[in-house]
Amino acid sequence: MDFRDFDMAALAPAETYKLLSGAILPRPIALVTTCSAEGAANAAPFSFFGVLGHDPATVALGIEKRPDGRRKDTARNILETGAFILHIPDVALAAAVERMAAPEAPGVDEIALAGLETRPGRHVACPRIAAAPVALECRFVSQVDLGTARDILLGEVLGISIRADAVDDRHRVDAGRIDALARLGGPHFATVRDRFTL
């Protein structure tokens, strides 16, 4: 079997990004809501994200800097307020997810632009997107210094809300009912509708 080998040291960052985002598949999407220190709501999707631990429940976000080196609103808000809500969007939210990725000026409410309803968080003072089947309310715990390209932020999950039809009394979550949206490379998305059991 032939392989093509790539050494990170020999690649431009944009090439590394294409290889990672094209090969690490499928990536779940964190649809993150925050508020600015002044209280303005913000939302954006992130697929460089993962769950790192369960005790304490821990998630990580890899938020790229803007081309001019500025922090994205989500990272700035998390660092300033210490709070965020991480939603798992379903396939029905795909167009809204794409809409919320458009760069808007700080203070512009992407949730309202996407036409989505919110409800208040139970643990943190961020808006929760009512249509998302899963919402993890998080407090910022630390930033990992891995260079200037991204803000790597860790959060502790204080509470998780799952739409009632998708979780049972034994905490079993029904993937079919979550119908999570996943990210592939470039502009491509996927579903997790083709499942099997071992």
- Residues in contact with ligand FMN by CB under 6 A are 29, 42, 44-48, 62-64, 72-74, 97-98, 101, 103, 183
Mapped onto helix, strand or coil, the DSSP state of residue 40 is coil
CB of 32 to ligand FMN, least distance (A): 8
Cβ proximity to ligand FMN: between 67 and 176 the closer is 67
Cβ proximity to ligand FMN: between 128 and 167 the closer is 128
Find out whether 98 and 3 touch, Cβ atoms under 8 Å.
no
CB of 156 to ligand FMN, least distance (A): 20
Residue 124's closest CA among 160, 89, 87, 85? 85
Mapped onto helix, strand or coil, the DSSP state of residue 115 is coil
Strand-pair partners of 129 = 118
Cβ proximity to ligand FMN: between 15 and 98 the closer is 98
CB of 61 to ligand FMN, least distance (A): 7
Cβ proximity to ligand FMN: between 41 and 157 the closer is 41
For 44, list phi and psi in degrees, rounded to 5: -160, 150
| CA Rg value for the chain | 17
